[in-house]
Structure 1
Amino acid sequence: MKEITSIQNPYVKNLLKLQEKARERRKQELFIIEGKREISLAISANYEFDTILFYPDLISENEILHLFNENVNRIIISKEVYQKLAYRGSTEGVIAITKAKDFSLKNILFQTTNPLILVAEGVEKPGNIGALLRTADAANVDAVFIANPKSDLYNANIIRSSVGCVFTNQIATGTSEDVIAFLQEKNINIYAATLQNSNEYHQEKYTESTAIVVGTEATGLTDLWREAATQNIKIPMQGQIDSMNVSVSAAIILFEAKRQRNFKK
């Protein structure tokens, strides 16, 4: 089995590029996953793996490597290399170099006739995207669409803040125009979270095919969504501010949709 002990190794330098630059991830169609839980979730989501690196003082070969087929490269790394590559302080000694998936809308398949979808437009902060993906997983939505994406979904911050939910959700990205066209073609009702011309969110019914659309706290949704919406909706605020974190807003509306759907059964 191959072993790498120096941080000056060209392969290690390339992995650092993959960590730091979305351009390199797109070019090489590879990204990095750290930690047993995140790697296990990616395995369950049928991701393909290129290489597994492990630091034997923290994890044994038998703990994780049996999960991968023999075609996956295995490399032992030194403490110095592991500390250089590890994005987090506690990732249990294992790092996976993983093949990226295509997040095109054309790859979306619904298993139900009345899907529930979360759409997030223009959300930039990786922590917010990660929180949205966690919310979507908790609500067991049928898909998450990122419209006008500002961050690469394989950004280490997104993987970390989503606690691996970037792998548990069915995800697609595209322009707002493309996402709207997809939803309209599938006859999916669009409920856009915005203050303009809105009803309170709990007054609407979400038991049919539904897309809940949220935007950034700073600028909200673009006019495209407000005009394409079946209905604009808002969460009534009872304090002195007029907005909440985007993932909190999404959770409130999504779980109202789930409540209605569960009640209908």
Structure 2
Amino acid sequence: MINIVLLEPEMPANTGNIGRTCCATGTRLHLIEPMGFKINDKMLKRAGLDYWDKLDVTVYDCLDDFFEKNPDAVGNMYMATTKAKHKYSDVSFSKDAYIMFGKESAGIPEEILVEYEHTAIRIPMNQDIRSLNLSNSVAIILYEALRQNDFFSMQTEGNLHRLHWNEE
């Protein structure tokens, strides 16, 4: 199962949207304090709609708490940042990869990024743009990781319901 890690998220709507994406994909969500909202924030619930109770989510007191409770993340962590040299599409995500995203206003602190420079990844974008929306960035990278793992057991085909019109 892929793991999405949000380091100090600030906007409840983004986190709610990411939670909904995690529900739709069977992905675990890890939230690292401090956050810019309370977990019961109505904006969080509105963005996550009625899926929040189905979400596999854990909240951690700090980054050290996260690593202490997830020792398998240490050698299996990708850092999504605009400061990376590698594109997200150039790496091979394992079935249990951890992908970390930083807070909306500042991203992942550089003192953390230097420890993960070899697994820091970026989404290509025009030079004049600072960054993409956090929930969009999560969706882009998460779906690439899922694609590489053949979407696990997700539904990959739909069915059209053909209408039969009466001819008169």
> Where on the TM-score scale, by shorter chain, does this alignment land: which range?
0.7 to 0.9
- Unmatched tracts of structure 1, length 5 or more: 1-114
> Is 1:246–2:131 an aligned residue pair?
no
CA RMSD of aligned residues (A): 2.3
- The residue identity in structure 2 corresponding to 1:123 is P
Matching residue within 51, 72, 82 for 1:195: 82
Structure number with bigger Rg: 1
Tell me the equivalent position of 1:237: 125
Deviation at 1:192, TM superposition (A): 0.6
After superposition, the Cα gap between the structure-2 partners of 1:157 and 1:234, relative to the gap in structure 1 and judged at 3 Å, is same
Q: Is structure 2 residue 13 aligned with structure 1 residue 127?
A: yes
Structure 2 segments unaligned to the other structure (5+ residues): 154-168
In the comparison of the two structures, how many residue pairs are matched? 150
Cα distance in structure 2, aligned partners of 1:149 and 1:260: 32
Structure-2 residue corresponding to 1:147:
32
Which string of whole-angstrom CA distances, capped at 9 and with x for unpartnered residues, describes residues 29-63 of structure 1?
Answer: xxxxxxxxxxxxxxxxxxxxxxxxxxxxxxxxxxx
Match of 2:100 in 1: 213
- State how far apart, in whole Å, the 1-side matches of 2:22 and 2:57 are: 10
Structure 1 residues 262, 167: CA separation in 2 closer, same or farther (over 3 Å shift)?
same
* Residue 252 (structure 1) shift: 0.2
Q: Partners of 1:196 and 1:216 in 2: how far apart?
A: 14
CA distance in 1, matches of 2:53, 2:71: 26
Indicate if the aligned counterparts of 1:130 and 1:165 stay in contact, CA closer than 8 A. no
Question: Contact 2:77–2:97 at 8 Å: present in 1 too?
Answer: yes
1:160 aligned residue (46, 54, 69): 46
The structure carrying a bigger strand percent of its residues is: 1
Distance 2:111 2:58 in 1: 19
**For the Cα contact (< 8 Å) 1:190–1:213, is it kept in 2?**
yes
Distance apart, 1:168 and its partner CA? 1.4
Q: Cα–Cα, structure 1 residues 253 and 261, in superposed 2: closer, same or farther, change >3 Å? A: same
- Distance in 2 (CA, whole Å) between partners of 1:139 and 1:133 is 10
Alignment of 1:73-152 (within 5 A): 115-141=1-27, 143-150=28-35, 151-152=37-38
> CA separation of 1:248/1:263 partners in 2, compared to 1, >3 Å: closer, same or farther?
closer
Correspondence for 2:161:
none
- Indicate which of 152, 172, 175 corresponds to 2:58: 172
TM-score by length of 2: 0.78
